[in-house]
Amino acid sequence: MKIQSRAVHSGDRKKAGPQIPVSTPIYTASSYFYDTTEQLDQVFAFETPGYAYARYDNPTNSALEEVLTSLEGGRGTLATASGMAAIEIALRVATMTRPRAIVAADALYGATIKLLNQILEPLGFRIHYADFCDLAEVERAIARTQPGCLLMETISNPLLRVAPMDRIAELARAAGVALVVDNTFATPLLVRPLELGAHLSVNSLTKYLAGHGDVLGGSVTSDAEHYDALRATGRVTGPLLGPFEAYLAMRGVKTFPLRMERQCANAVEVAEWLGGHPKVERVHFPGGAAHPDAEAVRRLLPAGQFGAMVSFEIRAASRAEVFGFMDRLKMIVRATSLGDVHSMLLYPWMSSHRDVGPEQKARVGIRENLVRLSVGIEAVEDILADLDQAL
Ligand SMILES: Cc1ncc(COP(=O)(O)O)c(C=O)c1O
């Protein structure tokens, strides 16, 4: 071949040989070819396993999807470009053969509320909200609105309510309705929604699973009923995570249980300490003795592990005083997101719930003096010292 052709073809597409790399490499190839066209045809026909085109899947993503399925249970996982992409495809798949109506928990991440109200409703979906911590209200909403799907978070953002997912799954299955759960705050270390009867479990990989503040990603883990539709939709609409991000997420997942255990233990201490601080009016933490969902917490979360998010209200603080508190933090990172190795603090009124209407904020209980702390893996004394000097 001439240099122009050799520059394009040499070096690439070598057979892997007998060796096996200990960690999965980043496969950036956009397409794959085989010794014979017949083999490629069989891959396209799903008659033999293999890769054909990167919008369908690639070996780096498959490795990540395999480990996520092993953590969450279920038939299989689709890794997506963000947590929001995961929620969107999960809702579409859940309602593909069911009514285009969703009953959603009124306590949800702000962008999820926007997805429902500003994207799906204009597309013809009927959207209804209910207090998922009140089982009778969920039952009434199902009977009244005949939805195709229910949507909830395992531990809600930002007030950390824990709805009785196991009972809600029973209601959903009895009514032939799909249950989609956003498991981001709990992670599969604490709760595996599919084992409790949910149909699709979503994670923002950006948070605890990747855990280092350097990658955006999401995942949908599906039961057997929805898996083929999930993959088929993904192949056509193309929301897949890129292989670089899949590699980073996979690297994060390896230490995720270790990090999460430490973060949960730190959070117990932080919540207890905040509860005794004179400048703190109220602490929201599923491990707190006065938590309104104590029964569901006992049933659904492992003993002593309540997640690593702690929200609290600063006594009589105005917005300016909350900003002052945040500006004084020295180690805790004042930024949006959560679940990273470093502790992070965010003001839901300004960021995650900025565009949620005042009535919905009031109904859920998001007040102007509320901050949300994602407890990291640092030494807990340093987290407490930083909070103390800033308060
Ligand atoms: C509970 C929850 N679900 C989903 C998301 C969306 O994830 P991503 O930012 O990866 O799209 C977030 C983001 O903060 C979240 O808090």
Q: What is this structure's pTM?
A: 0.96
Retrieve residue 146's tokens.
């005949």
DSSP class of residue 120?
I
Residue 12 pLDDT exceeds 80: no
List pocket residues of ligand 1, CB cut-off 6 Å. Answer: 82-84, 109, 153, 157, 182, 184-185, 204, 206, 216, 218
State the pLDDT at residue 346. 94
Q: What is the pLDDT of residue 357?
A: 84
**Residue 194 DSSP one-character state:** G
Per-residue confidence band for 351, with pLDDT thresholds at 50, 70 and 90: confident
Contact present, 211 and 339 (Cβ < 8 Å)? yes
Instruction: Measure 117 CA to ligand 1 centroid, in angstroms.
Output: 17
Q: Which two tokens stand for residue 298?
A: 């006992």
2 has a pLDDT exceeding 90? no
Rounded mean pLDDT, 41-63: 96
Q: Give the β-pairing of 280-284 and 200-204.
A: unpaired
Token digits for 104? Answer: 């959603």
Q: How far is the CA of 180 from the centre of ligand 1 (A)?
A: 15
On the 0-12 / 13-18 / 19+ scale of CB atoms within 10 A, 126 is middle
Confidence band for 31, pLDDT divided at 50, 70 and 90:
very high
pLDDT above 80: residue 13: no
Whole-number Å distance, alpha carbon 42 to ligand 1 midpoint, is 38
Per-residue pLDDT, 186? 98
What confidence tens digit (pLDDT) does each residue in 156-198 have?
999 999 999 999 999 999 999 999 999 999 999 999 999 999 9
Prior bond of 286 cis (ω within 30°):
no
Rounded to the nearest angstrom, the distance between the alpha carbon of 263 and the centre of ligand 1 is 18
Mean pLDDT of the chain: 95
Question: In this prediction, what percent of the chain has a pLDDT beyond 90?
Answer: 89
Q: Measured between alpha carbons, how far is 329 from 32 in angstroms, rounded to an integer?
A: 50
What's the mean pLDDT in 352-369? Answer: 86
DSSP state for residue 117 in the 8-state scheme: I
